[in-house]
């Protein structure tokens, strides 16, 4: 069984594969259209590799889909365990409390 990069990578890959298959094109075709090696497309679709922003945009453009559709609902929790759950809002609030 292939190694999965993360739950997020697996979900993004599944969305890309579904969109590609819906159009009836091969990984090779998508690779040529997006100017990304088809073996890289395969790794992304299997979730073995997390796509770069550039790759995601190139793939989305080739599939005529907004790149955001591949990321919708994905959170940092989908990339694995986090050492904290702080956000910028938490940081600003704490900084304000220290200065008060």
Q: What is the chain's pLDDT, residue by residue, as a tens digit (100 residues)?
A: 458 889 999 999 999 999 999 999 999 999 999 999 999 999 999 999 999 999 999 999 999 999 999 999 999 889 887 788 888 998 888 888 776 6
Q: What is the pLDDT of residue 23?
A: 97
- The tally of domains found in the chain comes to 1
SS3 content of the chain, % helix, strand, coil (to 5): 65, 0, 35
pLDDT at 100 (0 to 100): 60
Radius of gyration (C-alpha) of the chain in whole angstroms = 17
Domain that holds residue 56: 7-99
Helix (H, G, I), strand (E, B) or coil at 73: coil
Q: Determine, yes or no, domain membership for 1.
A: no
Residue-level pLDDT at 2: 57
**DSSP-assigned letters across all residues of 39-50:** HHHHHHHHTSSP
Domain-located, residue 2: no
CATH number of the CATH domain containing 38 = 1.10.260.40
| Any domain includes 19 | yes
């Amino acid at each position: 069984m292939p190694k999965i990069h993360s739950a997020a990578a697996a979900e993004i890959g599944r969305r890309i594969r579904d969109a590609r298959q819906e159009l009836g094109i091969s990984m090779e075709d998508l690779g040529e259209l997006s100017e990304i090696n088809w073996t890289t497309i395969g790794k992304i679709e299997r979730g073995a590799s997390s796509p770069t922003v550039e790759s995601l945009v190139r793939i989305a453009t080739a599939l005529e889909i907004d790149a955001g559709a591949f990321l919708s609902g994905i959170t940092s929790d989908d990339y694995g365990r986090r050492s904290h759950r702080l956000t910028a809002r938490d940081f600003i609030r704490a900084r304000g409390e220290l200065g008060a």
